[in-house]
Amino acid sequence: MKILGLDYGKRRTGVAISDSFCAIAFPKKTLKPKNEKNLISDIKKICDEEGISTVVVGLPCNMKGEYTAQTDSVVAFSENLKKELGNIEIELFDERLSTIQAERALIDKNLKKFSEIDEIAAQIILQAWLDKQSRTSAKVQ
């Protein structure tokens, strides 16, 4: 079982994937589809190839946690994704500051490949979600 993380954008969508223990997130790729239908098809292919059980989609809110026009776009995309993926669970997760963290990570590593920023943002979103799941299950035990 693996988890997929997405940093959705109309032009570029960053993709990250967890290890099989659902403990560590890794950047996978940045998708640049022509349209949403192609994007969903690309994501479905990754899910099938990797045995994905859950897709975590970054939910952009403003600093007060309020929804924006971009939030509505992500929610609509997530609903369309759910229709196509069937039994795979879709979770929305607060992505505030993930792109800023991704920029800092690239700068800290002295990388100039800002084309990787979306997949790094997806990794940050997914890792935060994995960490939250780990903390939640630790409290239950």
140: confidence class by pLDDT, cuts 50, 70, 90:
very low
pLDDT beyond 90 at 106: no
- The answer to whether the CB of 47 falls within 8 A of the CB of 4 is yes
> Which fold would CATH assign to domain 2-135?
Nucleotidyltransferase; domain 5 (3.30.420)
**N- to C-terminal Cα distance for the chain?**
21
* Domain spans in the chain, listed from the N-terminal domain onward: 2-135
pLDDT over threshold 80, residue 118:
yes
Within 10 Å of residue 39's Cβ, how many Cβ atoms?
22
Percent of the chain with pLDDT over 70: 82
Residue 141 has pLDDT above 60, yes or no: no
pTM of the model: 0.86
The C-alpha angle 33, 43, 5, rounded to 5 degrees, equals 110
Rounded average pLDDT over 40-51: 98
